[in-house]
Amino acid sequence: MDGFKCRRCGACCRIKNGIVRVGDAEISRIAAFLSVPEADFIERETEIAPDRAGLVLRSRPDGACVYLDEEKGCLIHPVKPDKCASFPFEWTNADSHEVCPALGAEK
């Protein structure tokens, strides 16, 4: 993954049916960053994961993450969940090269 250059297109934040799990540490740091009580953050911006094993960030009806701003990008960038921060350096999946134009350019 040397030389990977993110184009900040946000395509990886708009994957329909994509999920971003958030654990206790991520919930704490995002809530602190947003200056909201953790319980409020959980109530408003997360939902039960499809497999019912924990929580995921809520998505908008079009599938985009609630924290994706079309102009500013990720609104919680400094504290974004580990899954977001580690893509594509630590993980990719079968669809990643279709989704991410910067990965496609690496082929």
Residues at the site binding ligand SF4, with contacts judged by CB under 6 A: 6-13, 20, 57, 65, 67-68, 74, 76, 80-81, 84, 99-102
CA–CA dist 8, 25 (Å, integer): 25
Tell me which residue of 60, 76, 70 sits closest to 16, measured CA to CA. 60
Nearer to ligand SF4, 13 or 55 (CB): 13
Min dist CB 100 to ligand SF4, Å, is 3
**Strand ordering across the sheet containing 55-57:** 21-22, 55-57, 46-48
Min dist CB 78 to ligand SF4, Å, is 10
